[in-house]
Amino acid sequence: MDKEQRKKLKIERKQRKKKIKQAFKHRSGTFTWNEVEKVLEDE
């Protein structure tokens, strides 16, 4: 894997984490892990 690909992966991971955090906040923490996994699968 070259540097560019690695950089892209890092950025994608960061954005995904942000999305999950926002989803948690949005639902005020009433998120089940199944729902989180669904969000991840949608990407």
| Per-residue model confidence as pLDDT tens digits over 5-37 | 999 999 999 998 888 777 776 665 555 667 777
* Spatial CA neighbour of 23 closest among 40, 4, 1, 3: 40
pLDDT for the residue 4: 94
DSSP 1-43: --HHHHHHHHHHHHHHHHHHHHHHHHTTT---HHHHHHHHHH-
Structural domain total, the chain? 1
**What are the CB-based long-range contacts (under 8 Å, 24+) for 30-34?**
none
pTM of model > 0.85: no
Identify the domain containing residue 23 by its residue range.
Answer: 3-42
Classify the phi-psi angles of 29: left when phi > 0, otherwise alpha if psi is within -120 to 50, otherwise beta.
Answer: left
